[in-house]
Homo-oligomer: A and B are copies of this chain.
């Protein structure tokens, strides 16, 4: 599936690779689509579990820490099981399972919004909830896109740095997280 997509997999293949017989497969899933749905559901559950950790990690982190934590979490999420996630992502639109991922994202947005409220004074945020949504969507879109079209980007420090810059710039942070940005470039500063 990771190589050729969902349509290219035959149920007999799936069964063989899963180490069971087709018959057994159909004892648990009424049809092929249900199989994909179950897979998606499991992925969504795993992601949700990890997002809860992100929320806790954010807590009352400073602006710099928060941005770093958040961006890293987004990248980790994409990296982990990236190939599988990617394969599922491609099939999603046709299978009406978007809500599953929407659910996951909403949970992450809530955690981020909470933190934005904590750091309200240092950030240029009028509507935390909306801003959180925009950020999640942006970062999510960027990592999804990287996942789909430029997988190697997920492991590049440059990509991580730029995601932080994007986030910081959008949040109106006066100074980008110091440690990570190379002094000579001096963007979005002073």
Contact = CB atoms under 8 A, between A and B. Distances in A.
Nearest to A146: B141
A166 B139 CA distance: 11
Nearest to A98: B149
Interface residues of A, number: 37
A148 B137 CA distance: 12
A105 to B, nearest CB: 10
Given A134-B162, A166-B170, A94 B149 contact: no
A125 interface: yes
Contacts of A126: 184-187
- Per assembly, the copies of the chain total 4
Nearest to A5: B94
Nearest to A162: B134
Contacts of A138: 138, 142, 166
B148 A142 contact: no
A170 B169 contact: yes
A167 B149 CA distance: 21
Contacts of A134: 162
30 contacts: A4-B94, A7-B7, A90-B94, A93-B148, A93-B149, A98-B149, A124-B187, A124-B188, A124-B189, A125-B187, A126-B185, A126-B187, A137-B142, A137-B145, A137-B150, A138-B166, A140-B145, A141-B141, A141-B144, A141-B145, A141-B146, A142-B142, A144-B145, A145-B145, A165-B170, A168-B169, A169-B170, A169-B172, A169-B188, A172-B187
> Which 9 residue pairs of A and B lie closest in terms of their CB atoms, listed nearest first?
A169-B169, A141-B145, A124-B187, A172-B188, A126-B185, A169-B170, A141-B141, A141-B142, A7-B7
